[in-house]
Amino acid sequence: MTMWGWVALAVFIVFIIILYLLSPLISPPPLKLRDAHVLVTGGSSGIGKALAIQAVKQGARVTLVARNEKKLEEAKQEVTTYVTSQDKTQRVHTVSVDLSSDYPSVEKAFQEAEKTLGAVDFLINCAGTSVAGRFEDLSISDFKKMIDINYMSAVHATRAIVPAMKARGQGRIVFVSSQAGQIGLFGFTAYSASKFALRGLAEALQMEVKPYNIYLTLAFPPDTDTSGYREEQKTKPLETKLISETSGLLTAENVATVILSDTVVGKFFSSISLDGIMLSNLTCGFSPVTSLMEATQQVVTMGLFRIISLFYLAHFERIIYRCKLQRDSEAGSKKQS
């Protein structure tokens, strides 16, 4: 390398170090989990239960919210085994409510949770479900169900908690979206739309609550091995299965660890795996900035990631085309026989 090459490299390294050092200036102050009240919707199963376990391991009091009381009780027994504190203040509480139904029931249920374990410091909106199928094979009620459970549940829960967080000038709110909330995928016309909606909600709300020291995290997990995922597999079109397989299958524990650590530091996007990081950089748009390092990385890598995404898109289109050919030939041979 020439002398000018070395100088350029040195300038680049100094620039990165300065950015790294300045980054915390615009980052939210971390919020501790120890002694905090963490309310997890969808806390009786899968990613929500794994989040509750991680929070309890770090000293939090936890409320699990879901509908099925038996599942909630079983989850409470399991989560309680991870309680770390010797005194009796670290507890696990359960609330059974249908978050997608009416707002007053959710508000009442959450007031009861706050009476039991104190004001909510971390609200984790994880309750959700999915339905997969080609657009014309899904019923109109499937579309409504996705919006009610994946979007309105989060609206109800967040509406019930935000006023008190604003009054206390502190809090964290998590929306568990999905990689299908970053890109629209074959078979997910109903699901993707409901998860995209969470992004609009999160970006707009973050602007409103930042002056009150409340920070939002929007999480985009890839396929995760949970009972919800196994249920979804039963109706997934072949195309959706083949496309989803490109980002692998994670454990709920892995996903929960990343979401929780990003939430503590107030990161707006929480992404897992290389694919996830690429997607978040590529789709960052006008999203809030919580770290100078992250913003720089987005500016520098966006063009490159767009090029990579074109290869992914071509690969997905090939999958869809091949599946169509296979279906057409199966339909042809059925007609002949």
In the complex, the smallest distance separating the C-beta of residue 150 from ligand NAP, rounded to whole angstroms, is: 6
In the complex, the smallest distance separating the C-beta of residue 324 from ligand NAP, rounded to whole angstroms, is: 25
In the complex, the smallest distance separating the C-beta of residue 135 from ligand NAP, rounded to whole angstroms, is: 19
Query: 3-state DSSP helix/strand/coil percent for the chain, to nearest 5?
Result: 60, 10, 25
For ligand NAP, which is the closer residue by CB, 22 or 249? 249
In the complex, the smallest distance separating the C-beta of residue 300 from ligand NAP, rounded to whole angstroms, is: 28
Structure tokens at 1: 């390398």
Structure tokens at 125: 């909106």
Structure tokens at 213: 């020291």
For ligand NAP, which is the closer residue by CB, 149 or 284? 149
Coil/strand/helix, residue 267: coil
The DSSP annotation for 170-189 comes to -EEEEEE--GGGTS--TT-H
Contact call for residues 73 and 94 (beta carbons, < 8 A):
yes
Angle at 313 between CA 309 and CA 319, to 5 degrees: 145
Structure tokens at 138: 């899904």
Footprint on residues 124-153 left by ligand NAP (CB under 6 A): 126-130, 149-150, 153
For ligand NAP, which is the closer residue by CB, 269 or 292? 269
Interface region with ligand NAP, contact rule CB under 6 A, candidates 65-73, 109-117, 258-266, 299-307:
65-73
94, 224, 247, 280: which one contacts ligand NAP (CB under 6 A)? Answer: 224
Active site residues: 177, 191, 195
Coil/strand/helix, residue 78: helix
In the chain, DSSP assigns E strands to: 37-41, 61-66, 92-96, 122-125, 171-176, 214-220, 224-225, 250-251, 269-271
Structure tokens at 197: 């909606």
For ligand NAP, which is the closer residue by CB, 44 or 291? 44
Interface region with ligand NAP, contact rule CB under 6 A, candidates 52-60, 80-88, 216-224, 291-299:
216-224
For ligand NAP, which is the closer residue by CB, 45 or 263? 45
For ligand NAP, which is the closer residue by CB, 221 or 266? 221
For ligand NAP, which is the closer residue by CB, 272 or 292? 272
Is 84 a binding residue for ligand NAP by CB under 6 A? The answer is: no
54, 63, 100, 189: which one contacts ligand NAP (CB under 6 A)? Answer: 100
C-alpha dist (Å) from residue 23 to 44, 195, 201, 274, 285: 37, 30, 26, 22, 20
Distance in angstroms (rounded) separating the CA atoms of residues 289 and 59: 29
Strand pairing partners for 251?
225
C-alpha dist (Å) from residue 150 to 38, 130, 320: 20, 8, 27
Size of the site for ligand NAP (CB under 6 A): 31
Is 221 a binding residue for ligand NAP by CB under 6 A? The answer is: yes
In the complex, the smallest distance separating the C-beta of residue 100 from ligand NAP, rounded to whole angstroms, is: 4
Is 77 a binding residue for ligand NAP by CB under 6 A? The answer is: no
**The total number of residues written for the chain in this structure:** 337
Interface region with ligand NAP, contact rule CB under 6 A, candidates 93-101, 131-139, 162-170, 315-323:
93-101
Footprint on residues 167-206 left by ligand NAP (CB under 6 A): 176, 178
x/- string (CB under 6 A) for ligand NAP, residues 225-244?
-xxxx---------------
Residue 246: in which H helix or E strand, if any?
none
Q: Which residues bind ligand NAP (CB under 6 A)?
A: 41-42, 44-48, 66-68, 71, 98-100, 126-130, 149-150, 153, 176, 178, 221, 223-224, 226-229
